[in-house]
């Protein structure tokens, strides 16, 4: 629809052209019909044409709680909080995508089209893990729908247009640029890979589209950072397309499951396992009878790639596995004892339990600061442990490195420097082999969830 190259060329030429003023009226007069003005008007026409093309596919949504009246409110925009918001018609038959937090617990939603028509939509599927939901309306005519672009080609600095209904102001259009890509750890959803934009996004924009200059949807606007100006986030279109396809076809999203606990590699952990910082993620637990265990993945393995895609964070690993269907075989590259292995892992269906464990990071060099005792049946019951043997932490000195790294009473130490320890005696023997100033790698269980942590012995 839009000739992007022509627009960018116009911008470059524009800044090289001087503006002129009327000789009759002096410096305060309006600008004449100069080449620069014509260039600006051409750019303006591109943007206005894009806005007119985009607006009809954007709808205003009002969830109907418990069969009552629609909730017409501008407040919100945190996940899992329902209220009025925006939606995007993605199919002329009446399928609409929006945010899960806009819909909330409602099963019906009032939809207001650009021509002021009001329809009642049924919620046909929701995916809290990506904060997306799909609705369906029945209309007596084909509805104006948007087309998706390829979000993998999005680049920082490119122009974008956000359309939505902030504070109840129907089909508001804002212009900006992509200010970041691949944003994660925002703590808005389980699978995060957000496009960041400075195109103004406000309460009520949630669920609306983010367009590129060709009129293609490259993201679904989902959140803002409170008190931050010019920082909004959109779910990439490629992720949204996968979720929409599953919600429309089966009413839910089914994802692959690997069956491991994972954590990021701190500099200390990377050094202990012989890899570079940020190179892969650390497997701290492998669940029995799950795909990873059956394929031979072990605690202490560093997962580097999945099907050739680099894994540089726990979030990235979860996303790469999550887009694969149950039954698919993932080729997973790991480092184990400094050796590279590639394992074929047939995935099962994901279950709803968290797989990421991490601890506060600290580099304070003090004594270990731990009191220990052998695990007993009574202590295992007290600290909700299914284990029968191990080294239980009974006290952590305030201000010690163990305290700074997040260890606490009730944690069960299972390994010291990759060697199993089942008693305080074995722990003491393993520690006795550590030279002054060396680091100590511990594998720890807390309420049956495992993680690794590195401590620095006293000099």
Active-site residues, by number, are: 101, 131, 206
State the Cα–Cα distance between residues 325 and 313, nearest whole angstrom: 21
Question: What value, to the nearest 5°, has the Cα angle with vertex 46 and ends 43 and 48?
Answer: 110
d(CA 390, CA 392): 6
End-to-end CA distance of the chain: 68
Q: What is the pTM of this model?
A: 0.69
Sequence-ordered list of residues with C-beta below 8 angstroms from that of 149, at least 6 positions apart, any chain: 212, 214, 216, 217, 218, 237
Characterize 27-62 residue by residue with b for buried, 16 or more Cβ atoms within 10 angstroms of its Cβ, and e for exposed: eeeeeeeeebbebbeebeebbeebbebbbbbbbbbb
Residue-level pLDDT, tens digit, the chain, 459 residues: 444 445 555 554 444 455 444 444 455 445 557 777 888 888 888 888 888 888 899 999 999 986 555 554 433 334 334 457 899 999 999 999 999 999 988 999 999 998 889 999 999 999 998 999 999 999 989 999 999 999 999 999 999 999 988 776 777 888 999 999 998 877 778 888 899 998 888 777 889 999 998 999 999 998 777 666 778 899 999 999 999 999 998 888 999 999 998 888 888 888 888 888 878 999 988 988 899 999 999 999 999 999 999 998 888 998 999 989 999 999 999 999 999 999 999 999 876 543 333 333 333 333 577 888 888 887 888 888 888 888 999 888 887 778 888 898 899 999 988 889 988 878 888 887 777 667 888 999 988 788 998 887 555
């Amino acid at each position: 629809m839009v000739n992007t190259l022509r627009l960018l060329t116009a911008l470059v030429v524009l800044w090289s052209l001087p503006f002129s003023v009327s000789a009759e009226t002096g410096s305060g007069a309006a600008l004449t019909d100069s080449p620069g003005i014509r260039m600006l008007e051409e750019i303006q026409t591109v943007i206005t044409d894009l806005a007119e093309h985009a607006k009809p596919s954007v709808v205003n949504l009002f969830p109907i709680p418990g069969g009552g009246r629609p909730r017409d409110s501008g407040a919100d925009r945190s996940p899992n909080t329902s209220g009025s918001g925006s939606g995007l018609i993605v199919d002329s038959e009446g399928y609409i995508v929006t945010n899960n937090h806009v819909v909330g617990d409602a099963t019906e939603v009032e939809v207001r089209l650009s021509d002021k028509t009001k329809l009642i939509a049924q919620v046909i599927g929701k995916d809290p893990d990506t904060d997306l939901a799909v609705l369906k309306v029945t209309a007596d005519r084909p509805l104006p729908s948007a087309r998706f672009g390829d979000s993998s080609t999005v680049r920082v600095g490119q122009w974008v247009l956000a359309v939505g209904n902030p504070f109840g102001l129907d089909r508001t259009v804002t212009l900006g640029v992509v200010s970041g890509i691949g944003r994660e750890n925002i703590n808005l959803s389980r699978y995060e890979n957000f496009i960041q934009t400075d195109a103004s996004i406000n309460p009520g924009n949630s669920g609306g589209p983010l367009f590129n200059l060709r009129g293609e949807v490259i993201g679904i606007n989902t959140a803002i950072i409170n008190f931050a100006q010019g920082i909004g986030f959109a779910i990439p279109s490629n992720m949204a397309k996968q979720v929409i396809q599953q919600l429309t076809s089966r009413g839910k999203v089914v994802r692959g499951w690997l069956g491991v606990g994972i954590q990021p590699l701190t500099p200390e952990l990377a050094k202990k396992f012989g890899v570079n910082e940020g190179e892969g993620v650390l497997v701290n637990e492998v669940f029995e009878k799950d795909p990873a265990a059956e394929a031979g993945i072990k605690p202490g393995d560093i997962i580097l790639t999945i099907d050739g895609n680099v894994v540089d964070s726990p979030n990235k690993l979860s996303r790469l596995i999550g887009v694969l269907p149950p039954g698919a075989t993932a080729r997973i590259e790991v480092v184990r004892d400094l050796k590279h292995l590639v394992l074929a892992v047939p995935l099962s269906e994901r279950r709803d339990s968290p797989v990421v464990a991490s601890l506060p990071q600290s580099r304070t060099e003090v004594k270990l600061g731990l009191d220990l005792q052998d695990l007993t049946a009574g202590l295992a019951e007290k600290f909700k442990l299914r284990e029968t043997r191990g080294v239980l932490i009974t006290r952590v000195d305030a201000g010690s490195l163990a305290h700074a790294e997040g260890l606490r009473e009730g944690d069960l130490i299972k390994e010291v420097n990759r060697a199993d320890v089942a008693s305080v005696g074995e722990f003491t023997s393993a520690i006795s082999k550590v030279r002054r100033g060396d680091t100590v790698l511990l594998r720890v269980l807390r309420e049956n969830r495992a993680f690794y942590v590195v401590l620095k012995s006293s000099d």
